[in-house]
Amino acid sequence: MSILLDETTRVLVQGITGSEGTFHAKRNLAYGTKVVAGVTPGKGGQKWEDQVPVFDTCQDAVDETGANASLIFVPARFAADAILEAADAGVGLIACITEGIPALDMARVYPYVRAKGVALIGPNCPGLISPGKANMGIIPGEITGAGPIGLVSRSGTLTYQVMYEMFTRGVGQSTCIGIGGDPIVGSNFIDVLGRFAEDTETKAVVLIGEIGGDEEERAASFVKENVDKPVVAYVAGFTAPPGKRMGHAGAIVSGSKGTAQAKAEAFESMGIRVGRNPTEVAELAIASIA
Amino acid sequence: MDLFEYQAKDLFRRYGIPVPDGRVASSPRAAEKVAAKLGGRVVVKAQVQVGGRGKAGGIKLADDAAGAGAVASQILGMDIKGHKVRRVLVERAGDIKAEFYASFLLDRSAKAFLGMVSAKGGVDIEEVAATDPEAIARVHVSPLTGLQPYHVRRMLFDAAIPKEAHKGAVVLLETMYRCFIDADASLVEVNPMVLTGDGAVVALDAKVSLDDNAAYRQPLFAKLAAEIPLPKQEKIAKEKSLNYVKLDGTIGIIGNGAGLTMSTLDVVAEAGGSPANFLDIGGGANAATMAAGIDLIFSDRKVRSLFVNIFGGITRCDEVAKGILGALEQLPNLKAPIVVRLDGTNATEGRDILERAARPNINMAPTMLDAAAKAVALTKGKR
């Protein structure tokens, strides 16, 4: 098993005819992902890359192809609308790659999709991959393979680094999910940890956090109460000064809260081992299942 | 983006949030003029984005226009915790009967808006939160339905705000909320919110943070941003759309992706070095981006070496390698050591390109940790 995404997931891509959408949808398709539909308003009726039907609306795409997941590449100012459209069309999983969505838009989208029971990954995230089964987003599939480690992260390339460090040591992953670097994301660490806890294929979980907010602290408590599997953690941003935003909209230390130090201490106080760098966290994860 | 007090108060006026009469000034003469226009006693306040300016002598009273000019000349040019005072806000001084606290912010944990009111105003609210959390009334506001009258009533009653201030406080809180939503703010804070002798409730101070992601739909955003001074390097970065933050060390850092770049700073620090900056070149870095980034980093005279740490995903390592060489061609005087670590998509091709170029100042490293150690070792030399 894996979580959220596997070889049976039927993916529609919103913004499939744009340059980003085309580039990544091709890669996902080549990986073996069932990309069954595209949505670009005004381009309904076309065939993308001579094989995938394009629709004007998500509802049409779902009705015609049975799509049950949506991958979103539309520009930031249209992205909140795209998420709501996908949720209303009835898909159960949405991954929104788009970066730069206003926080106010996400504040409204979040409770709406939550109430519908839709699993939203992102925005401002690399998406998710269940290695060997399906890839939905922009994670490079070729750097890893299937295995027993679940991975959940607020970062993109840092996630690839850790996946790669594990795989070069012979250990792959069940599912890797980048939850995104914005202040409000659709799924937080706890949502994903809960799924990994129930997944029989996942033997251990790697959690990659960064500065800002208190999701890592909440995840640490959640793991102690609810996760029986080994969990190891990494936190980026020990050298980040307070008040400076480090790239991600969510990565800023304000007040005394949100520092990497506080997060690492929260994990350790709950018995979760923390790697000092990406190499060490990969080694700890592998050792935890040995 | 964090606004100066005078900018926040100008914004407040647009939404009908009561603020004292006043105006910003950037010279003693201008301050004197503003004071003369206001008449009577005024307060002159340093405009800096740092707390504790009152204690540092950045807020002073003056009885008349001449006095205002005199205190403005003392305050302008002051250094308050590393922030130079370039402007002062000159405001009519009123009599204060009581000081309260009020704010609306985006609560990341609750994924909702949070309104807070306290009868303990004019002091550090984080201190109050730590020592006397009961003194702060909090309500969560659903982003779907917005602020309701009962939210405001609850905050005022729970915080035990005196009855005589209720009418004014209701107006202030409701207009504050409208500003929070309309301006795409992540924080709107009034500390203190004061009750004056004649029964009015006024925002005596104002702190506003605006969401950068919403700049495209906020017509005032660009004008406000232009008034906020940035360190020289950050200004250039902004013009070139580079994601750069200046730090204090000697080792320049380029990474791809915010998380990996932050992690790069950490491993350099762990190896005993001090990072000079955060620079995330993002996806698909070409030679022009690379050159701009390298040029920017070395415009900081403290920088002794550069560490380029790339994990190729969408970004292809061969493109990065070409970018580095292209940058060096555009910067022929650059002799400082550059340590490069490439992994992921087309890493082998990228390493080959750099090795074939055989530039004396380019050093390849097999892993992120090796590269960090090398960058630290190479920093010892001269530039």
Can you give the CATH number for the domain in which A86 is found? Answer: 3.40.50.720
A179 and A90 within one domain: no
A150 and A113 in a common domain: no
> Smallest Cβ distance to B256: which of A143, A157, A255?
A157
- Break chain B into its structural domains and give their ranges: 21-92, 96-226, 232-378
Query: Residue A209, SS3?
Result: strand
Q: Is residue A4 part of a domain?
A: no
List the beta bridge partners of residue B281. none
Residues within 8 A of A (CB atoms), B 333-362 only: 343-345
CATH architecture of the domain with residue range B21-92:
2-Layer Sandwich (3.30)
- For B96-226, CATH number? 3.30.470.20
pLDDT of A54-76, one tens digit each?
A: 999 999 999 999 999 999 999 99
Query: Does B232-378 match B21-92 at the fold level?
Result: no
CATH number at residue A207: 3.40.50.261
- In this structure, are A114 and A145 located in the same domain? no
Chosen from A110, A116, A157, A248 to mutate, greatest number of chain B CBs within 10 A:
A157
* Alpha helix stretches (DSSP H) within chain B: 5-14, 28-38, 65-75, 125-131, 149-158, 166-182, 221-226, 232-239, 258-270, 287-298, 317-330, 347-357, 368-378
Q: Of the candidates B143, B181, B275, which has its C-beta nearest A239's C-beta? A: B275
The neighbour count for residue B382, using CB atoms within 10 Å, is 6
Looking at the structure, tell me whether residues A236 and A96 fall in a common domain. Answer: no
Instruction: Looking at the structure, tell me whether residues A15 and A116 fall in a common domain.
Output: yes
ipTM for this prediction: 0.90
User: Which structure tokens are listed for B114?
Assistant: 């949070």
Give the domain extent around A247: 140-288
Q: Is the pLDDT of residue B215 over 70?
A: yes
Model pLDDT, residue B341: 96
pLDDT-derived band at B292 (thresholds 50, 70, 90) equals confident
Given pLDDT bands bounded at 50, 70 and 90, which one contains residue B50?
confident
Give the pLDDT of residue A256. Answer: 57
Partner B, chain A 35-64, Cβ-Cβ below 8 Å: none
Task: Look at B278 and A246 and tell me if their CB atoms are within 8 Å.
Answer: yes
pLDDT tens string A212-237: 888 999 999 999 999 999 999 999 99
> In the prediction, which pLDDT does B109 show?
87
Q: Is residue A135 situated within a structural domain?
A: no
Please give the average per-residue pLDDT across A148-158, as a whole number: 95
> Residue B381: its pLDDT value, please?
56
Domains in chain A, number: 2
For chain B, percent of residues with pLDDT exceeding 70? 98
Chain A and chain B share a number of CB contacts under 8 A equal to 169
CATH fold for domain B232-378 = Rossmann fold (3.40.50)
As a whole number, the mean pLDDT across chain B is 93
Residues A145, A113 share a domain: no
Q: Are residues A103 and A147 in the same domain?
A: no
Please give the residue of chain A at the shortest CA–CA distance from B144. A108
The residues of B assigned a catalytic role are: 101, 189
Predicted confidence (pLDDT) per residue in B171-197, tens digit = 999 999 999 999 999 999 999 999 999
Nearest to A101 among B108, B112, B213 (CB): B213
pLDDT in tens, B340-360: 999 988 899 999 999 999 999
Do A41 and A144 fall into the same domain? no
- Average the pLDDT over B68-88 and give the result: 94
The set of residues, in sequence order, having a beta carbon less than 8 Å from that of B279 and lying 6+ positions away, is B237, B242, B243, B244, B245, B252, B253, B254, B255, B261, B293, B296, B297
By residue count, chain A amounts to: 290
A254 and A159 part of one domain: yes
- Range B146-161 average pLDDT: 98
Q: Both A43 and A156 in a single domain?
A: no
CA nearest to A11, candidates A64, A65, A69: A69
Confidence of residue A254 (pLDDT cuts 50, 70, 90): low
Residue A176 sits at φ, ψ, to 5 deg, of -120, 130
A253 and A152 within one domain: yes
Pairing mode of beta strands A69-72, A93-96: parallel
Residue A1: inside a domain: no
A176 in the same domain as A115: no
pLDDT for position A168: 94
